[in-house]
Amino acid sequence: MMESKRLLGGKRIVFVAGEDEYSSEQTLQQLLKEAEEQGAETEFLQAEPDPRESSNLPGLENLKDADLAVFYLRFRTLPEEQFRHIREYVEAGKAIVAFRTSTHAFQYPEGHPLADWNDAFGIDVLGAPWIRHFGHSSSTEVAVAYGAEKHPILDDVPSRFTVRSWLYHVLPYPLEGATILLNGYAVSPELTDCPKDAPRIHPVAWTRTNKWGGRVFMTTMGHPEDFEVLSFRTLVRNGISWAVGLTNEKKEGSKS
């Protein structure tokens, strides 16, 4: 326990839940408790009065002093006075861990001053836009990407495992500057709204340094049932440690 206590000691982590499909207000609380057990100072923010409220996420000013922001967002329309705290955090080049629907974190109407962020948060901040998915009845087989085996985020993560999350279509977007850690294969996909020749293998976890210099760990996994899978929980725990700079650089190698 003492070693665990030292792991995140002195780090301030702000968890931000703002979506109404995946119960992130519960699953992020699980991660928060683990981070506190490892010595982190934490803050938890969520939509109010409930997850369906897309235009109110109070407390974002607390990002100013954070070492890491953990985002789980979907189609938010935050007022400028709230959104600016996210923008300032991102543009300060600070560390980010993000889940699933955060690729489409915002949904401002056409012509709104913040409408560019509908795509920019996914592309410029996290590395991939929202395109489509392979259907709610499908699941995903996950495998370590070639060449990523020694990355510290994959410590104690098996080379293959399965999650409930249906696969997100990420390619052919180039994921500029990213190191792909895990690829996913769509199991029993629904192809009604998807081109028949669409590739069924896409990245599901990667790291990158975004255009502002911020360290990012992004995964398109994050269904509530995923958090019951030890392999996924280990991945996320390692991703948080990596994002705040607590890794074995010799093991990680030259890419970040």
Q: How confident is the model at residue 194 (pLDDT cuts 50, 70, 90)?
A: low
Contact 154, 238 (CB under 8 A): yes
Contact 206, 120 (CB under 8 A): no
Residue 234: pLDDT over 70 = yes
Q: How confident is the model at residue 111 (pLDDT cuts 50, 70, 90)?
A: very high
Residue 255: pLDDT over 80 = no
Q: What is the mean pLDDT of the chain?
A: 90
Average pLDDT over residues 26-51: 96
**CA gyration radius for the chain?**
17
Average pLDDT over residues 14-35: 97
Q: How confident is the model at residue 256 (pLDDT cuts 50, 70, 90)?
A: very low
Given the candidates 3.40.50, 3.90.1310, 3.30.2010, 1.10.287, the CATH classification of the domain at 2-131+205-252 is 3.40.50
SS (H, E, C) the chain: CHHHHHHCCCCEEEEEEECCCCCHHHHHHHHHHHHHHCCCEEEEEECCCCCCCCCCCCCHHHHHHCCEEEEEECCECCCHHHHHHHHHHHHCCCEEEEEHHHHHCECCCCCCCCCCHHHHHHHHHHCCCCCEECCCCCEEEEEECCCCCCCHHHCCCCCEEEECCCCEECCCCCCCCCEEEEEEEEECCCCCCCCCCCCCEEEEEEEEECCCCCEEEEECCCCHHHHHCHHHHHHHHHHHHHHCCCCCHHHHCCCC
Q: How confident is the model at residue 172 (pLDDT cuts 50, 70, 90)?
A: confident
pLDDT of residue 254: 36
* Half-sphere exposure at residue 167, Cβ-oriented, CA atoms within 13 angstroms: 29
Q: Rounded CA gap, 46 and 38, in Å?
A: 22
Higher pLDDT, residue 12 or 3? 12
pLDDT of residue 134: 81
Task: Using a pLDDT cut of 70, give the percent of the chain over it.
Answer: 91
pLDDT of residue 184: 96
Residue 252: pLDDT over 50 = no
pLDDT of residue 89: 98
Residue 3: pLDDT over 70 = no
Contact 195, 165 (CB under 8 A): no
pLDDT of residue 5: 46
**Residue 154: partners with Cβ closer than 8 Å, 6 or more residues away:** 144, 148, 181, 182, 235, 238
pLDDT of residue 188: 83
127-138 residue pLDDT tens: 998 888 888 778
User: Which two three-digit tokens encode residue 186?
Assistant: 């769509």
Residue 158: pLDDT over 80 = yes
Residue 124: pLDDT over 90 = yes
Residue 203: pLDDT over 60 = yes
Q: Any idea where the domains of the chain sit in the sequence?
A: 2-131+205-252
